[in-house]
Amino acid sequence: MFQQSLVLAGSLGITILLSLVPLIVLLFLLAGIRMTAWLATLITGVITIPLGVFLWQAPFRPTMQAYWYGSLTGVWVIDWITFWGLIIFNTLVVTGDFDTFQKWMLHHATADVRIQTLMLAWAFGALLEGVVGFGYPWAVVAPILITLGIADLEALRVAALANNAPVSFGALGSPILALSAVTSLPLLSLSASVGHIVAVLALFPTWVLLYLVSGWVGLVEAWPLAIVASLAYIAGQWPVARYWGPYLPDISGSLVSFWALYAFVKVWKPKTIRGFGGAPLTQTPAVVTANPDAKIGALRAWLPYIILLVVVGIWTGPWLPKYFHVNLPGLSLHKWSVSAISSVTHKAAASTFNFTPLSGGTSILVSWLVILLFLRPTGAQLQEVFRKTFRQMWGALLVGFFIFGLAYTFVFTGMANSLAFGLSKIGPAFVILCPVLGWIGVALSGSNTSTNAMFGPVQATAGGLLKMPALLLPSLNSVGAEVGKPVAPQTASVGVSTTRFVRSEGEVIRHNMSWTFVMLGYLVLVGLLFYFFFPNLMQL
């Protein structure tokens, strides 16, 4: 069995520099020359394999096996989920149900810009992130906010910052699934640890959103809305992340938050109705009242999301194993594996593809089939759904294949362990740097999932070397990637596609930058809180 090398040629500095080559190349291709993500990940993999074989002395055939098993994992763990999530979304778009749903929400958001922002950008945006991700919450929410009177650039910033808290559980949990796959940490444990951090993180953005759309006066008047919106999201998100897993926290959090706000504003509203910038409004804007579909029933509007929540919740939740002794997502048809002796633990470490045909992605497929029974689209509409989805996703599907092959190779050859060993020399202060690395990773790569795939093993190994709680650094890496999303070029490219800032992503990113630093600073404090006061919540 291959024994990984830890330090090359007796020089830790040279080893760290060489182990950084794949990350530097990938980020240069993505952020430096703006190469498309699937090609950048393919080229970086082609460079990483000979580095591992010739410098880390990894045998060629097992290295290629590790790459292949990683690629298959990317397809089955990530692509299989995101594809069916986008199929559901596009089915609602093509049938017109999504447009009707937006009109229903718009009608019930009232005329006050603060209520509109929390209902639409915060709650509705979290729902879109949970189902689709990839910048779609910006693309959908920002035009609505602009229609309601928020300035274009500010609407994009509001949509982006409102999207901070849901990202780690976005696209039906893809970032957490990726993190579990590359670190071999238990999926439910990672979901819980990230859920703990996100629950604290989510206390802050609603206050920022109120300030951005209405200033200090509007914030002081409407502070109860910030509390209700954040606590309701946490009440829906945290228990699901803790006890069910990573597939549904965004959806449950958004549902609870929206309906809590809906009920709350029936009994309490700010005395002064304010528009964007805090200006008092003397009449309700026509866009809110003149809505031909305003009286559509809430059940019809929310039914597809309720179906998704119920089917995936039953399928992936703990009750089937507990009461029926059946674990559908865990049923394995076959495992392919190749192992190496870890340079850190000196034990066998396997790179594995586990084919589980009834995984979470399959539950989303079944949810879509149930939704079809109620929506009853035509054959032509279904053809359009698949055409639209493949046109939007073919690049992302290839990224799932190539990034996981790259990540598995990075780990199998020992490069990840060498980098983690070098970073561990920073000492306990690395807990501060950890979320910053996640922020940098997503800001340059554009993907929380990709950031977790590449940095996750390094964070997990560094945490082990530093004797930190096993889940702390990988979880902070994922949430650090959350707060970097507003400045991620790839996310911004999708997010601005429905506004006048098409191909002007740089202006949007610069406008978002300062507040992402504020959020990152807050996250560092949250990380220190868990490290010093609640380390038991980050233990396996």
pLDDT at 164: 84
Taking alpha carbons only, the member of 54, 32, 29, 31 closest to residue 40 is 29
Asked, for residue 512, whether it belongs to a domain, the answer is yes
Q: How far apart are CA 523 and CA 540, in angstroms?
A: 22
pLDDT, one tens digit per residue, over 312-343 is: 988 988 778 878 888 888 899 999 999 999 99
The residue type of 258 is F
Q: How far apart are CA 446 and CA 133, in angstroms?
A: 12
50 C-beta neighbours (distance < 10 Å), count: 11
pLDDT at 292: 47
Asked, for residue 349, whether it belongs to a domain, the answer is no
Asked, for residue 441, whether it belongs to a domain, the answer is yes
What total of structural domains would you count in the chain? 1
pLDDT cut 90: percent of the chain above it: 63
Q: How far apart are CA 526 and CA 540, in angstroms?
A: 19
SS3 sequence of 497-514: HHCCCCCCHHHHHHHHHH
pLDDT at 503: 67
Q: How far apart are CA 34 and CA 77, in angstroms?
A: 27
Which residues in the chain come in under a pLDDT of 70? 283-298, 490, 503
Q: How far apart are CA 161 and CA 157, in angstroms?
A: 6
Beta strands at 348-355 and 2-3: parallel, antiparallel or unpaired:
unpaired
Q: How far apart are CA 91 and CA 187, in angstroms?
A: 29
pLDDT at 294: 47
* Exposed e or buried b per residue across 193-214, where buried means at least 16 C-beta atoms within 10 angstroms of its C-beta: bbbbbbbbbbbbbbbbbbbbbb
Q: Answer whether 170's CB lies under 8 Å from 133's CB.
A: yes
Q: Answer whether 165's CB lies under 8 Å from 233's CB.
A: yes
Asked, for residue 269, whether it belongs to a domain, the answer is yes
The residue type of 268 is W
470: Cα within 13 Å, side-chain hemisphere = 12
pLDDT at 441: 86
pLDDT at 138: 85
Asked, for residue 341, whether it belongs to a domain, the answer is no
Asked, for residue 14, whether it belongs to a domain, the answer is no
pLDDT at 139: 81
pLDDT at 283: 59
Burial of 348 (0-12, 13-18, 19+ CB in 10 A): exposed
Q: Report in angstroms the alpha-carbon separations of 174 from 128, 158, 478.
A: 14, 24, 11
pLDDT at 302: 82
Taking alpha carbons only, the member of 470, 528, 469, 526 closest to residue 196 is 526
Q: What are phi and psi of 341, to 5 degrees?
A: -85, 120
> How many residues comprise the chain?
540
Asked, for residue 165, whether it belongs to a domain, the answer is yes
Asked, for residue 2, whether it belongs to a domain, the answer is no
All residues at 6 or more sequence positions from 152 whose CB lies less than 8 Å from its CB, including other chains: 142, 146, 499, 500, 501
Q: Answer whether 177's CB lies under 8 Å from 246's CB.
A: yes
Q: How far apart are CA 245 and CA 180, in angstroms?
A: 12
> pTM of the predicted model, to two decimals?
0.88
pLDDT at 341: 95
In terms of residue numbers, what domain contains 197? 20-327+389-538
Q: How far apart are CA 391 and CA 398, in angstroms?
A: 13
